A and B are shown apart, each in its own frame.
Chain A
Amino acid sequence: MGVMKTCKETSTLVTQSLDRKLSLREEVGMRLHLMVCKNCARFMQQMHLIRVWLRSEDDGRAQVGLDEDARRRIARKLQEGE
């Protein structure tokens, strides 16, 4: 692989940069491509947004909880354990 990356290579480096430290060569190749490619720059932004949204706190708006049956099942187990 040369220094200049394709979108396919760059998108892989973008996701991998979230999970490992890129080598200097990879980092430079990715940055160079991102400077000239709007699609990949947006892709990177999307990846970061996903991470931020996922890590945001539960605000309780999901309005789901244990249903009555589940609650009873767990309560019974706890009684057995006591």
Chain B
Amino acid sequence: MTTPQDWLSEHGDYLFRYARRRLTSDEQAEDAVQECLLAALKAHGGFAGGSSERTWLTGILKHKIVDLIRKQAREVTAPAGQNEDSSDDWESLFDQSGHWVDTIRDWGNPESELEKSRLRLILDECFRHLKAAQARIFSLRELSGLSNEEICKELKISQTNAWVLLHRARLSLRNCLDGRI
């Protein structure tokens, strides 16, 4: 029978990396891992086997990540989508008639695992540079796979606001990636 200390030594790094991809600081990722293991400790009777221990822990971690993001969003005084995003310059990507100012480059479609892995690391790095409100919603949508309805409930924002934030997050990521690809 494995103990919580075993979980930490065997799965700690994996869980930390998992959380780190979905949260924007190492500190938060550590909190998420800690909350996850504490919850697992309380629910130890709940692990019925079947799935692997790692899968079981990851399932708990997913919920803890969403909890953390929700908590952060509540702590921010300004409503998401205002203030923080007013300086977004995506408008400047287009000319007066709505055409792209610059040609959009062809990124190709990298086939090799090594290249894909490299691009994923760059992308993770770009994610960490997103503005906080954009990072939160993008994480819930793309990395935790929540539906739009769930996101609006978690973050207490309107559908329209959610789409605008996601649109901006996607454009920011594209720009960041485009300069480093």
Hey, which bits of chain A sit against chain B, CB under 8 A? Answer: 6-9, 11-12, 15-16, 18-20, 38-40, 42-43, 45-47, 49-51, 53-56, 58-62, 64-66, 70-71, 73-75, 77-78, 81-82
Q: A49: which of B17, B21, B107, B121 is its contact (CB, 8 Å)?
A: B107
A45 to nearest B CB, angstroms?
Answer: 7
Name 8 extra pairs, CB < 8 A, besides A58-B21, A64-B16. Answer: A38-B104, A43-B100, A49-B107, A54-B142, A56-B120, A59-B113, A61-B117, A78-B5
- Evaluate whether A78 and B8 lie within 8 angstroms (CB atoms) in the complex, with A45-B107, A64-B20 already known: yes
Q: A20-B163, A71-B8, A74-B33 are in contact. Are A7 and B100 (CB under 8 A)?
A: yes
Q: What would 14 A/B residue contacts be, using CB atoms closer than 8 Å?
A: A6-B99, A7-B100, A19-B141, A19-B166, A42-B104, A47-B170, A50-B174, A58-B21, A64-B20, A70-B26, A70-B30, A73-B34, A77-B34, A81-B42
Q: Which 4 A-B pairs have the closest CB atoms?
A: A6-B98, A65-B13, A8-B98, A39-B104
B17, A39: Cβ atoms closer than 8 Å: no
Task: Using CB atoms, name the residue of chain A closest to B30.
Answer: A70
- CB nearest to B42 among chain A residues: A81
- Determine the distance from Cα of A49 to Cα of B181 in the docked complex, in whole angstroms: 12
Q: Tell me whether B167 is interfacial, beta carbon within 8 Å.
A: yes
- A40–B119 CA distance with the chains assembled, in angstroms: 22
- B2 part of interface (Cβ distance < 8 Å): no
> Which residue from B30, B38, B97 sits with its C-beta under 8 Å from A66?
B30
Q: Does B83 contact A (CB under 8 A)?
A: no
Beta-carbon contact of A78 and B4 below 8 Å:
yes
1/0 per position for B10-44, CB-CB distance to A under 8 A? 00111011101100001000100110011001100
